[in-house]
Amino acid sequence: MRLTIRSKGEDPRAGALLADAHALGLTHVTAIDVADVVFFADELHGDHVAELETVLVDPLLQTGSWSVPLEGIETSLLPGVTDPAATAVQLAMATVGLPDVPVATGKHYVVHGPVSAVEQQSLARRLLANQVIERWAHAPIEPHFIDAHATADRTVDHVAIRDLDDDALMALSRERGLSLDLAELHAIAEHYRGVGREPTDVELETLAQTWSEHCSHKTFRARITAVDDDGTEVGEITPLLRQLRDSTDAINAPYVVSSFVGNAGIVSWVPGITLAVKAETHNHPSAIEPFGGSNTGVGGVIRDVMGAAHHPIAVTDILCFGPTDLPADQLPEGVLHPRLIESGVIAGVADYGNKIGLPNIAGAVLYDPGYVANPLVYAGCIGVASAAEPLPGPQPGDLVVVMGGRTGRDGLRGATFSSATMDATTGDVAGASVQIGDPIVEKLVIDAMAECHGLYTAVTDCGAGGLSSAVGEMAEGVGAEVDVTLAPLKYPGLRPWEIWLSEAQERMVFAVPPAQWPAMLAVCARHGVEATSLGTFTGDGVLRVRAGDLNVLELDTHFLHDGRPQRSMVATLPHPFRGLGTPPICADPAATLRELLAHPNIASKERVVRRYDHEIRGATVVRPLVGAEHDGHADGVVVAEPSDTHGFAVGIGVNPWFGLHDPERMAHAVVDEAVRNVVAVGADPDRAVLLDNFSWGDPRRPSTLGELAMAVQGCCHAAHRYGAPFVSGKDSLNNEYLGSDGQRHAVPPTLVITAMAHVPDADCTVTPDLRAAGNVLLQVGHTSVDFAGSHFELLYGTEGHGTVPAPLLDPLTRYRALHVAIREGRVQSCHDLSEGGLAVAVAEMAIAGRLGVRIGSLPHANPTAALFSETNGRFVVEVTPADLEWFVQNVPDTSVIGTVTDDGMVTFPGWSVSVADLVDAFTGSAS
């Protein structure tokens, strides 16, 4: 039997569904009704039915119906997909004393308007059901209930690999989705010839996961040969990861506690306190199931910080989408519309962060046609800990403990999936790779971990590769023996390799001395968190996995972690234009300014930011939205605990359009942007650290690898120049789509730099909103003719007007002087110059402060360059007339450009626009 629950009045989901249907080209749909359905496997008798209805239906808000509808479209979850709503119904039934019956949930839709049957089906397929996790049917749908009596198939297969020839090896890799190359397959075959047997399926899958691009960073560790355009070898490039590590070692910053080891970078600016910081990508999963993909991306990066034994305190997100107004007929086959990806991804990020109770403090949203088939989702997390002795690592005899969520078939083979190219069938075949998040479980694990200090010797998160990666990593050098059948399961019937490789979320693995195990169990019981011992760390360096009595895996951990042959790769280096440019002509700068402010990349992101809780914990001192009407974007954000006088700032740098022209200069520019953003809000430029996140195309194409290599080189030089070491990073490669036309479409080179820096005085921060008429505006920094990849160029398609901005020779002197000015309270407001240049920066300050501006003198002889060029290292600063002399004398490269007014106009030499018009353009409220 089934209960359909409808909202009284319009359901809040209906409006969005209708807009989405229109965006898919079905403009004659007039309304879509939506209702929730709860299915019960067994009949309930009368009293129970009435009681159940009072539990599930709120009479002030909803109506319930037990009749079976014969019209409409219904969806339900595919078998194996976690159904938290069904679990909640069962819990509620148990609470009020109703019988325990299997429950499933689904949705009921009715589409209104002159819509044909074919169009109904199209809507069901493309909008109402995400076929990666749901199926649809004409009402009434028959749901799938979990089979609580399935029996496990505890078999293990041996895979013949020792005697295969090259073709057969590659065929094996393809058939099993291993994403291994020939050299790696040879290494495995060779190893098993030495062992004297064939590998088990569990061993082969474990090796594929551990050796995947996602887990082992083959490209960043590869030996790279640089070649000329004609193929002549011109030199060797130091492995990319080593370059980044070497640059951090060379900077030798005293506040870096740990970099490029473990799950996150760790810094300490205040004695006794450390901060862990990490950013990750979750691109492929978000492309096929936007909500689940971004949701678990956030959950995963939070676990990275927990895996560094830090308590999470904030999250960040950077999102890249295709144009949301893309005509439906231009959508590649098998790809979700950017509008649906955008709404799903944002909802997923919001859901996880809001529910787990972490403020989402910083981010960016970018739009470009290059992201239509491959959206990018970067999620970051920051955590705090009392500085203590580092964890010693697993000791022989310690228990292998898994804590948190249960194991199901979620996300099988996620690591190898994320290392492959997508095509039109990806959504169909990769369904099992999608993970489902449960932020409340992760919240409980965080709470439990906060009380487990001293009870464990090592911890790591279960991410890509599941237990195979987590236990495999921890067992490196020490060895472990586990029985996978001891792992708590969501439902029975999983095979050993499925348990071992499942990417079910919200699980952490600990090494626990047996003497501490009862104490840890007591903490977990108090918080309602499951913790289970699967085995022990042994000390013999061998990883052994059993399923009951059956041995399913025995691997030397040295071979598992060091047996992969170093990849040899070839790069052709780019030849970016580095000459002098002439500025483009701008006939109507006022119109250009309005167009820039309305550009999706520059326009207000308030509708996104408001979906995220940035207030929880009461520590977000500079919020992402600031100013008189809380609708201006801050450059960076500042977090300071309510009980502290100091804090830290976070800034983001990203500019793929620079990357298309000149990847090396892009790297400099985005490092500058990230550092600029934290300095602009009041952080100390001498206490900054960086994270790198590369999302790139297939590096096996030499030109793509060459662009990546130049970006890494730019990062390292920039880190050195800013004295800001990289402490952690992650690369996501193969962000390509193989179109049905046979063409490969790669994302633009997208390097996201996250800067985090110490804010010595949390009461001394600055935002970009103008404060008072009569104050003086200055530009700090020089302007050059830099239009390559600029938003002016993006708007008008005028190429060839200058370069991507060159690296600054001495940014630190400038930034230190500005920091002193901020610390001394001499800066009223400050905004960095980025996309759209000076004109956009001034307009954004006027919008945020709801004040006018009169610019009297432009900082470049050519007005177009002065207004719209995107040179690095520049700020607009508002000072009082009394501070002007001090500022000009003490901050280098400063020029007075104008004054703040209260006439409601932004006036440049020769033209002006009203602040109200600029607000309309920026917020999209213009009619």
Please state, in angstroms and rounded to a whole number, the distance separating the CA atoms of residues 43 and 10.
31
Is 96 an interacting residue with respect to another protein (CB under 8 A)?
yes
The residue range among 434-442, 544-552, 689-697, 775-783 that interacts with another protein, by the rule CB under 8 A, is 434-442
Provide the minimum distance between the beta carbon of 302 and another protein in the complex, in angstroms, as a whole number.
13
Please state, in angstroms and rounded to a whole number, the distance separating the CA atoms of residues 637 and 623.
6
DSSP state for residue 903 in the 8-state scheme: S
Is the separation of the CB atoms in 349 and 318 below 8 Å? no
DSSP state for residue 213 in the 8-state scheme: H
Query: Distance from CA of residue 271 to its chain's centroid?
Result: 30
Is 611 an interacting residue with respect to another protein (CB under 8 A)?
yes
Contact letters for another protein, residues 570-609 (x by CB under 8 A): ---------------------------------------x
| Closest CB to another protein among residues 476, 761 | 761
Provide the minimum distance between the beta carbon of 597 and another protein in the complex, in angstroms, as a whole number.
22
Is 377 an interacting residue with respect to another protein (CB under 8 A)?
no
Phi, psi torsion values for 839, nearest 5 degrees: -60, -45
Provide the minimum distance between the beta carbon of 754 and another protein in the complex, in angstroms, as a whole number.
22
Please state, in angstroms and rounded to a whole number, the distance separating the CA atoms of residues 737 and 252.
40
Q: Out of 108, 217, 282, 668, which one is annotated catalytic? A: 282
Contact letters for another protein, residues 524-563 (x by CB under 8 A): --xxx-----------------------------------
The residue range among 583-591, 635-643, 739-747, 913-921 that interacts with another protein, by the rule CB under 8 A, is 635-643
Is 610 an interacting residue with respect to another protein (CB under 8 A)?
yes
Contacts of 60 (CB under 8 A, 6+ apart): 8
How many CB atoms sit inside 10 A of residue 718's CB? 29
Biggest CA–CA distance in the chain, Å, is 85
Provide the minimum distance between the beta carbon of 426 and another protein in the complex, in angstroms, as a whole number.
29
Please state, in angstroms and rounded to a whole number, the distance separating the CA atoms of residues 321 and 331.
13
Of residues 253, 424, 616, 888, which one binds another protein by CB under 8 A?
616
Task: Measure the CA angle with vertex 687, ends 682 and 693; round to 5°.
Answer: 95
Contact letters for another protein, residues 325-344 (x by CB under 8 A): --------------------
The residue range among 460-468, 690-698, 740-748, 757-765 that interacts with another protein, by the rule CB under 8 A, is 757-765
Is 613 an interacting residue with respect to another protein (CB under 8 A)?
yes
Residue whose C-alpha is closest to residue 281's, from 748, 659, 695: 695
Of residues 41, 50, 61, 160, which one binds another protein by CB under 8 A?
61
Of residues 6, 13, 221, 816, which one binds another protein by CB under 8 A?
13
The residue range among 355-363, 505-513, 814-822, 888-896 that interacts with another protein, by the rule CB under 8 A, is 355-363
3-state DSSP of 528-594: CCCEEEEEEECCCCEEEEEECCEEEEEEEHHHHHHCCCCCEEEEECCCCCCCCCCCCCCCCHHHHHH
214 catalytic? Reply is yes
Of residues 291, 417, 537, 612, which one binds another protein by CB under 8 A?
612
Beta bridge partners of 751: 694
| Closest CB to another protein among residues 308, 441 | 441
The helix/strand/coil state of 264 is coil
| Closest CB to another protein among residues 680, 766 | 766
Is 99 an interacting residue with respect to another protein (CB under 8 A)?
no
| Closest CB to another protein among residues 12, 271 | 12
Is 50 an interacting residue with respect to another protein (CB under 8 A)?
no
Is the separation of the CB atoms in 871 and 792 below 8 Å? no
The residue range among 12-20, 334-342, 740-748, 752-760 that interacts with another protein, by the rule CB under 8 A, is 12-20
Helices (H) then strands (E): counts for the chain: 31, 40
Please state, in angstroms and rounded to a whole number, the distance separating the CA atoms of residues 289 and 506.
18
Is 2 an interacting residue with respect to another protein (CB under 8 A)?
no
Q: Out of 108, 144, 191, 214, which one is annotated catalytic? A: 214
Please state, in angstroms and rounded to a whole number, the distance separating the CA atoms of residues 503 and 209.
11
Contacts of 778 (CB under 8 A, 6+ apart): 876, 877, 879, 884, 887, 888, 894, 895, 896, 897
Provide the minimum distance between the beta carbon of 405 and another protein in the complex, in angstroms, as a whole number.
13
Q: Scan for tokens 């003490």, then name that residue.
A: 890
Of residues 24, 111, 185, 356, which one binds another protein by CB under 8 A?
356
The residue range among 50-58, 155-163, 378-386, 732-740 that interacts with another protein, by the rule CB under 8 A, is 50-58
Instruction: Find the radius of gyration of the CA atoms of the chain.
Output: 28
Please tell me whether the peptide bond between 84 and the residue prior to it is cis, using omega within 30 degrees of 0.
no
Is 294 an interacting residue with respect to another protein (CB under 8 A)?
no
- Binding-site size for another protein (CB under 8 A) equals 63
User: Alpha carbon of 553 to those of 139, 460, 797: distances in Å?
Assistant: 47, 21, 57
Provide the minimum distance between the beta carbon of 727 and another protein in the complex, in angstroms, as a whole number.
28
Provide the minimum distance between the beta carbon of 609 and another protein in the complex, in angstroms, as a whole number.
8
Please state, in angstroms and rounded to a whole number, the distance separating the CA atoms of residues 927 and 913.
17
Residue ranges in 468-527 that form contacts with another protein under rule CB under 8 A: 526-527
User: Alpha carbon of 539 to those of 394, 478, 516, 536: distances in Å?
Assistant: 9, 4, 19, 9
Beta bridge partners of 552: none
N- to C-terminal Cα separation, the chain: 50
Of residues 84, 369, 390, 488, which one binds another protein by CB under 8 A?
84
Report H helices in 764-804.
Answer: 791-796
Please state, in angstroms and rounded to a whole number, the distance separating the CA atoms of residues 541 and 558.
8
Is 174 an interacting residue with respect to another protein (CB under 8 A)?
no
Torsion of the alpha carbons at 857, 858, 864 and 867, rounded to the nearest 10: -110
The two structure tokens encoding residue 197: 């047997």
Of residues 501, 640, 670, 715, which one binds another protein by CB under 8 A?
640
| Closest CB to another protein among residues 58, 246 | 58
Of residues 614, 665, 730, 826, which one binds another protein by CB under 8 A?
614
Of residues 237, 372, 444, 900, which one binds another protein by CB under 8 A?
444
Of residues 172, 484, 759, 762, which one binds another protein by CB under 8 A?
762
| Closest CB to another protein among residues 17, 511 | 17
558 catalytic? Reply is no
Is 765 an interacting residue with respect to another protein (CB under 8 A)?
yes
How many CB atoms sit inside 10 A of residue 645's CB? 12
Catalytic residues: 214, 282
Q: Residues in the site for another protein, rule: CB under 8 A?
A: 7, 9, 11-13, 15-16, 55-56, 58, 60-61, 84-85, 87-89, 91-92, 95-97, 347, 350, 354-357, 438-440, 443-444, 526-528, 609-618, 621, 623, 625-628, 630, 640, 642-643, 762-763, 765-767, 769, 771
